[in-house]
Each structure stands twice: as C-alpha cells, then as structure tokens.
Amino acid sequence: SLQDKNALHLYSVNGKYLVSETLKEEVSDMCVTSEYIVMGSLQGFLSIRDLYSLSLSISPLAMRLPIHCISVTKEYSHILVGLEDGKLIIVGVGKPAEV
C-alpha cells in the first residue's frame, strides 16, 4: 500500500516479475489454492482471482462488513469467511447443483 494505492504482484518461483494488478480495496487476508487467490478486504468484499493472470474469476461478493480472515476447505468445496462482528460466512464453491 502506497498512498491509498494497493496492488497485487505476481513473481515466478525464480523471482521473475510476471504481472501485477491494481486493487481498489485494502486486502485484510488472502488464501492461495492451486489455481486461485481468494482475498478479503477491509471494505467487505470477497474476491477470487486466477493465480496466473490475477484477473477476477467472478465479480467480488459483498459481505457488508470488513473481512478479518479467510480459509478454503481441504476439498476446495467451501470458503470460510470471518467477519468483523464475529460471524462466520460459508460460501459454497462450484455450480449450484454441486453446492
């Protein structure tokens, strides 16, 4: 974060710069899976980005409260989101029939 500008930078394992993406929100927590980056912001948005291009996979989901922590289940079937007021939101991942 530099003067209200937030960015996400991606580097290879060897340290080569690959890509960056400017963010509108201030990231409070993130979880990296094999293909995605799941991020929560202090503005209350849950974002899922492609790990290799950093582009949004879906539109950010509004949680209406600051997100304090994020976790993805071992089977990648659900995202657990802890909010500022102590609530735990469980978001199903996949097609509606699968969730």
Give all domains of the chain, ordered by start, each with its CATH number.
2-92 (2.40.128.630)
Nearest to 94 by CA among 80, 72, 77: 77
DSSP codes of every residue in 35-67:
SEEEEEETTSEEEEEETTT--BSSPPEE-SS-E
Rounded to whole angstroms, the Cα distance separating 11 from 26 reads: 20
Q: Average pLDDT of 74-92?
A: 95
Nearest to 61 by CA among 36, 39, 82: 39
- Report residue 20 CA to chain centroid gap: 15
pLDDT in tens, 33-64: 989 999 999 999 999 999 999 999 999 999 99
Rounded to whole angstroms, the Cα distance separating 61 from 52 reads: 21
Taking the CB of residue 18, how many other CB atoms lie within 10 A of it?
A: 11
pLDDT at 94: 75
pLDDT at 93: 86
Question: What is the pLDDT of the chain when averaged over all its residues?
Answer: 91
pLDDT-based confidence at 1, cuts 50/70/90?
very low
Of residues 91 and 5, more confidence is placed in 91
